[in-house]
Amino acid sequence: MKSKLLSAIVLSAALSLVGCNDASQTGQAGPATEVGVYTVKSEPVPLSTELPGRTTAYRVAEVRPQVNGIVLERIFEEGSMVTEGDKLYQIDPDVYKANYDKAVANLENLERVAKRKESLKDQRSISAQDYEDALYAWEQAKAEVELARLNLAYCEVKAPLSGKIGRSSITEGALVTNGQAQAMAVINQVDPMFVDLTPAMTQLLKAENTFRSGAAEPAFFQDTEVWLTLEDGSTYALPGKMKFLDNKVDEGTGTVTLRAEFPNPEGRLLPGMYVRARVQEGVIPDGTVIPQQALVRDMKGSPQAWVVTAENTVELRPIETNRTLGNTWLVTSGLKEGDMVVTEGLQRLANGMAVSPREAGNLDIKLAFNNSSDTKKQ
């Protein structure tokens, strides 16, 4: 009796195990998990960097008097645009007008004396030396008239260049002197505008090594395009061009100055503004980028990506990255053109799981921010 009962229990347990195994197999054969994927491409990838900088006027002129006198009038409006040659101040001209009239009268007298002595020389009534002295005095009087004329003209203080003039440091009634240290006003030519950037020399050397290794084609210092981000986070609408690299390194900071030139027709850029400039360092001819949401990390922080295999299963593959570019990662190894990396549905995945891939709808790839030309919508 006990033998029959034991046989019944063993048979029941076996049937229960078979049922569990069947149920497990049925679960594995369920519908594949739908995931959004990005298909990896091999294409030219621009390498860009963001650098701090300051705006600098294209040309600067400090307006100073060239004669002594009392300022009678300020003609310009502070903060306005002035044109080269515009009258800015009027200095009292009375003394200089009198000096000019005196010099003209002296010139006319010495001219008559020289001509009279010329006729006497022809008659041999005076020596050649007397005639030469008269000619010298006549020529000297001409120079004195020109000097008096210039001093009289300098009573009108004019703009030495076209640009935006700032506030006036003197008022009507002030005494000004030739060669004074204080400028009467300052004119900045702001269209175009310079932007001085200060990358670390180590950064430039690293970029140079990348070019020499053949990993990228250089773009620095070759009239390359530059884009600005202003202090409020807005993007300046017009691109600039890189102009030159300074010929020395700042010993205190280890930086070197790069200068870019920007059009500024609306005067939005003013001298002294802090900006951030995005500069293209070079181009990787056959680069690979993936969206940032496709990258996951293991417990050690190493980068990985879920890749869809040819059998429509997923595998977690280790990859190597170089840097972020906009909202993407630049991948240096682990992926090839045509690989499909998962960007949607990552939380549900396990190695070997069957999936149903579709094109991801959460992608708006930007290789660099603040420039629509570097955007690739998926």
Q: What is the pLDDT of residue 119?
A: 80
Percent of the chain residues topping a pLDDT of 90: 56
**The two structure tokens encoding residue 368:** 């660099």
Residue 55 has pLDDT above 50, yes or no: yes
With 0-12 / 13-18 / 19 or more C-beta atoms within 10 angstroms meaning exposed / middle / buried, residue 57 is buried
Query: 362, 364, 365, 306: which is closest to 334 by C-alpha?
Result: 306
**Which pLDDT band, with edges at 50, 70 and 90, does 211 fall under?**
low
Q: What is the pLDDT of residue 191?
A: 92
Over residues 171-199, mean pLDDT: 94
Q: What is the pLDDT of residue 210?
A: 64
Percent of the chain residues topping a pLDDT of 70: 85
Range in 3-12, 173-182, 261-270, 282-291 with the lowest mean pLDDT: 3-12
Residue type, 347: Q
**Helical residues (DSSP H) of the chain, grouped into ranges:** 2-28, 94-122, 128-153, 201-212
Q: What's the pLDDT tens digit per position in 283-310?
A: 888 888 999 999 999 999 999 999 999 9
**Which pLDDT band, with edges at 50, 70 and 90, does 6 fall under?**
very low
Is residue 210 within 8 Å of residue 194, measured between CB atoms? no
Residue 12 has pLDDT above 60, yes or no: no
Residue 13 has pLDDT above 50, yes or no: no
Range in 15-24, 100-109, 253-262 with the lowest mean pLDDT: 15-24
**The two structure tokens encoding residue 245:** 């690299």
**Which pLDDT band, with edges at 50, 70 and 90, does 17 fall under?**
very low
Residue 222 has pLDDT above 80, yes or no: no
Over residues 95-109, mean pLDDT: 96
Q: What is the pLDDT of residue 15?
A: 39
Looking at every residue in the chain, the average pLDDT score rounds to: 84
Q: What is the pLDDT of residue 261?
A: 94
Residue type, 39: T
**The two structure tokens encoding residue 312:** 């429509």
Residue type, 57: A
CA 297 – CA 87 distance, rounded (Å): 68
User: Under 8 Å CB-to-CB from 11, ≥6 apart: which residues?
Assistant: none
CA 230 – CA 238 distance, rounded (Å): 12
Residue 374 has pLDDT above 90, yes or no: no
Q: What is the pLDDT of residue 324?
A: 84
Alpha carbon 61 to its chain's center = 24
Query: 218, 219, 237: which is closest to 228 by C-alpha?
Result: 237
Q: What's the pLDDT tens digit per position in 118-157?
A: 788 777 777 888 888 889 999 999 999 999 999 999 999 9
With 0-12 / 13-18 / 19 or more C-beta atoms within 10 angstroms meaning exposed / middle / buried, residue 29 is exposed
Residue 229 has pLDDT above 70, yes or no: yes
Q: What is the pLDDT of residue 213?
A: 60
CA 299 – CA 273 distance, rounded (Å): 44
**The two structure tokens encoding residue 359:** 């094109």
Q: What is the pLDDT of residue 125?
A: 75
**Which pLDDT band, with edges at 50, 70 and 90, does 30 fall under?**
low
Triad 348, 353, 356: Cα angle to 5°: 80
Residue 262 has pLDDT above 50, yes or no: yes
Strand-strand pairing, 33-39 and 355-359: parallel
